[in-house]
């Protein structure tokens, strides 16, 4: 699926880096901020055209000074160059400039487009909630995957 791979029990295992933009909107609706992020992910194909792609990312909002970490577990169905992606769950922490930290969860449904040389571009809207709070947000995420060659 992603270009570079190594065998893992007869399944392809791909390693790559992700860079992306994430915008947050509350349901008023009002734009609440944007983040840039990057980090590694692996992709394994447990069944034909089905992929698991766990990743870990560091994110920062240059405008507000917030930063944090995220972990995701997308499940993808990709029979061709376009996939349907279910991101469940994503979990992370968000730290304010004063050091206050909150933990959030996210779920979403999106799509990925396979490009040249194993690169991919994904768009995933996600519902985001912070543990202990009632308010929900909408995250609009644009992700670019770059495979890391195995040799």
d(CA 33, CA 13): 34
Q: What is the pLDDT of residues 97-127, one digit of tens each?
A: 999 999 999 999 999 999 998 899 999 999 9
Q: What is the pLDDT of residues 67-92, one digit of tens each?
A: 999 999 999 999 999 999 999 889 99
Residue 23: pLDDT band with limits 50, 70, 90: very high
Domain ranges within the chain, ordered by starting residue: 6-147
DSSP label at residue 9: T
Q: For residue 149, is pLDDT > 90?
A: no
Q: For residue 6, is pLDDT > 80?
A: no
Q: For residue 32, is pLDDT > 60?
A: yes
d(CA 105, CA 21): 17
Q: What is the pLDDT of residue 8?
A: 40
Name the average pLDDT for the chain.
90
Q: For residue 28, is pLDDT > 90?
A: no
Q: Which CATH class is domain 6-147?
A: mainly beta
Nearest to 90 by CA among 102, 78, 108: 108
Q: What is the mean pLDDT of residues 35-60?
A: 95
Burial 32-65 (b: 16+ CB within 10 A, else e): eeebebebebbbbbeeeeebebebebebebeeee
Q: For residue 7, is pLDDT > 80?
A: no
For 80, other C-beta atoms within 10 Å of its C-beta total 7
Let me know: does 1 contact 12? Beta carbons within 8 Å.
yes
Q: What is the mean pLDDT of residues 21-42?
A: 92
Structure tokens at 51: 């992929």
Nearest to 138 by CA among 149, 122, 125: 125
């Amino acid at each position: 699926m992603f270009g570079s791979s190594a065998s893992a029990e007869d399944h392809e295992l791909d390693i790559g880096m992700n860079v992306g933009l994430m915008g947050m909107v509350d349901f008023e609706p009002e734009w609440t901020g944007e983040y840039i992020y990057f980090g590694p992910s692996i992709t394994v194909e447990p069944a034909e055209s089905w992929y698991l792609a766990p990743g870990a990312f560091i994110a920062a909002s240059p405008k507000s000074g917030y930063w944090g970490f995220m972990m995701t577990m997308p499940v993808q169905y990709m029979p061709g160059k376009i996939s349907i992606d279910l991101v469940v769950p994503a979990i992370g922490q968000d730290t304010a400039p004063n050091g206050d930290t909150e933990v959030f969860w996210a779920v979403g449904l999106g799509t990925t487009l396979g490009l040249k040389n194993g690169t991919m571009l994904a768009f995933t809207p996600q519902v985001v909630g912070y543990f202990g709070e009632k308010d929900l947000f909408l995250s609009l995420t644009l992700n670019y995957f770059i495979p890391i060659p195995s040799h």
